[in-house]
Amino acid sequence: MKDISNSLLNSNVSVPTYDRSTLKSRIVHLGFGAFHRAHQGLFTDLMLSETGSDWGICEVNLFGGEALIQALRAQNHLYTVAEKGAQGTDVKVIGSVTESMHPNFDGTEAILEKMAEPQVAIVSMTITEKGYCTDSATGQLDKNNPLIINDLANPTQPTSALGYLVQALRLRRERGLKPFTVMSCDNVQENGHVAKAAILEFAQLLDPELRDWIETNVTFPCTMVDRIVPAATDETLAEIAQLLGCEDPCGIACEPFRQWVIEDHFVAGRPDWNVAGAEFVADVVPYEEMKLRMLNGSHSFLAYLGYLGGYAHISDTMTDQGYKKAAYDMMIKAQAPSLNMPGDTDLESYAKLLIERFTNPSLKHKTWQIAMDGSQKIPQRMGGSLRYHLKQGTDFSWIATAIAGWMRYVAGVDEQGNAIDVRDPMSTTLRSICDEHGLNVSVVPALLALEAIFPADIGQNPQVIQAVTKAYQSLIERGARATVAAL
């Protein structure tokens, strides 16, 4: 895609219709990953097509991804999104990116100076749960995190996203510039509040006056983001090249569905993303909980139990009627009752749409990929609904089975005796507990005792221990497919 022009591309490819030369880097985004490319980058591109405004994005990768940034620069900051539906694929060239940076190429100071430029109104981020450097048990800043230790000792040479944000805000304050809005686009519950709490605590340790200025002047809108975006594979990139007419190492494939709900709280203005289908609301939390519990919770259920059952992709699990019915029941019977939604929300239609999305055979979303980082996902996806059922005295067997599936998965060996590559920030702790107990129900209370994942009101609750133990026993004796079918 180096010398991209319409003549190079296949005739059915959509290309930017707006004048890219008028764009300014008014958004700096931390984390040029797959999800951002298929979501915020695309929403911004569609918004530019509708409005002709100048809201461009400067992409920054703080860790890794050097080759991606180099490739993006080589093709004039254009990249491809292939939206793969059950009936066909739409290919779009995205033009919303104006420039890109990496500390290994440009240096820390240049990135900080970019964030401090007067026209920058939003610094957004997709840095995953780990990027917020918080202790999952307390929700507070993890002062023992090596990145935080480094950044507190060397605030002008930060390494973490928090360190960059606080130092950039310090520069703006010193120069008499307006602050920017900090907008998290991570799949983290109340992500704006999480970002704000971590940044304020970090700033307090550096400079209490700066902390007070940030709290008074900076806004941290919560957002709910939704689109299924599998990690790019060689197979994906080869398919995109064929559809596009040339290679694009930055290309990404995703489902046609996309959703973005944003708390309308911006200190220095914002793009009209609503013209591209985003929804600005006063309170994101109900939508966020709906997605985290119904979509992400059932995704985790399918990831652990699907992987153990021998299914490589989520769409593969949907070919098994036992998994398909269990996923729908988990949404409707286990997750939906725990939600408090605006009156016009149709949760049954939402559940049916999710099943349809999961069934999409064009989307190769690996169960192994979704199974990553379970210790950080389970509290958000299962905790709230589990508390609801414990309080109501109602059935939570789907959630118990999902947790048992995770426990069986992190043991690191599948039902055929093959090793599982378990990726999790707590993998060392999880492995040592699993090794100590082996494939035995005694592992259940030991894992439930990890308060970073299961607070005491859940992990030490006899009903939870009993239900998860029963499900775990079934997985050992009968396997994942039979256990899911029995639900």
What's the pLDDT score for residue 436? 96
What's the pLDDT score for residue 87? 86
CA dihedral 312, 313, 319, 322 (to 10 degrees): 80
Per-residue pLDDT averaged across 210-222, rounded? 98
Which residues, other chains included, contact 409 with Cβ-Cβ below 8 Å and sequence gap of 6+? 304, 307, 308, 371, 374, 420, 422
Q: Are strands 24-30 and 181-184 parallel, antiparallel or unpaired?
A: unpaired
CB 240 within 8 A of CB 91: yes
Q: Which amino acid is at 289?
A: E
Q: Is the pLDDT confidence value at 2 over 70?
A: no
Q: What is the CATH number of domain 285-486?
A: 1.10.1040.10
- The side-by-side arrangement of strands in the sheet containing 79-84 is 89-94, 79-84, 252-254
Which CATH class, in words, describes the domain spanning 20-281?
alpha beta
Distance separating alpha carbons of residues 175 and 115, to the nearest angstrom: 13
Where does 321-426 have alpha helices with state H?
321-329, 347-359, 367-370, 374-392, 397-410
What's the pLDDT score for residue 343? 82
Per-residue pLDDT averaged across 347-359, rounded? 96
Per-residue pLDDT averaged across 447-451, rounded? 97
Beta bridge partners of 281: 263
What's the pLDDT score for residue 419? 96
pLDDT band of residue 135 (cuts 50, 70, 90) is confident
Question: Where is average pLDDT lowest: 131-140, 308-317, 354-363, 469-478?
Answer: 131-140
Phi first, then psi: give them for residue 276, nearest 5 degrees. Answer: -100, 10
Work out the percent of the chain whose per-residue pLDDT is above 90. Answer: 92
pTM reported for the whole predicted model: 0.85
Q: Is the pLDDT confidence value at 344 over 90?
A: no
Q: Is the pLDDT confidence value at 437 over 70?
A: yes
Region of residue 277 (left: phi > 0; alpha: psi -120 to 50; beta: else): left
User: Quick check: do 20-281 and 285-486 share a fold?
Assistant: no
* 3-state SS, one letter per residue, for 305-329: HHHHCCCCEHHHHCCCHHHHHHHHH
What's the pLDDT score for residue 4? 57
Per-residue pLDDT averaged across 161-177, rounded? 98
Q: How many helices (H) and strands (E) does the chain have?
A: 23, 11
What's the pLDDT score for residue 155? 97
Q: Is the pLDDT confidence value at 375 over 80?
A: yes
| Coil, helix or strand at residue 56 | strand
User: Where in the chain are the domains?
Assistant: 20-281, 285-486
For 81, the token pair is: 């999104």
pLDDT band of residue 1 (cuts 50, 70, 90) is low
Q: Is the pLDDT confidence value at 3 over 70?
A: no
Q: Is the pLDDT confidence value at 428 over 70?
A: yes
Distance separating alpha carbons of residues 30 and 18, to the nearest angstrom: 25
Per-residue pLDDT averaged across 405-429, rounded? 96
Distance separating alpha carbons of residues 244 and 250, to the nearest angstrom: 12
pLDDT band of residue 129 (cuts 50, 70, 90) is confident
Question: In Å, what is the CA distance from 419 to each residue of 308, 415, 436, 446, 474?
Answer: 11, 10, 17, 22, 21
**Segment 249-291, tens digit of pLDDT:** 999 999 999 999 999 999 999 999 999 999 999 999 999 999 9
Q: Is the pLDDT confidence value at 454 over 90?
A: yes
What's the pLDDT score for residue 364? 84
**Segment 187-212, tens digit of pLDDT:** 888 999 999 999 999 999 999 999 99
Of 394, 456, 452, nearest in space to 129 by CA: 452
CB 159 within 8 A of CB 147: yes
What's the pLDDT score for residue 7? 58
* Average pLDDT of the chain to the nearest whole number: 95
pLDDT band of residue 8 (cuts 50, 70, 90) is confident
Q: Which amino acid is at 474?
A: S
Distance separating alpha carbons of residues 29 and 41, to the nearest angstrom: 10
Which residues, other chains included, contact 209 with Cβ-Cβ below 8 Å and sequence gap of 6+? none
Q: Is the pLDDT confidence value at 465 over 60?
A: yes
Beta bridge partners of 226: 259
What's the pLDDT score for residue 5? 52
Work out the percent of the chain whose per-residue pLDDT is above 70. Answer: 99
**Segment 31-41, tens digit of pLDDT:** 999 999 999 99
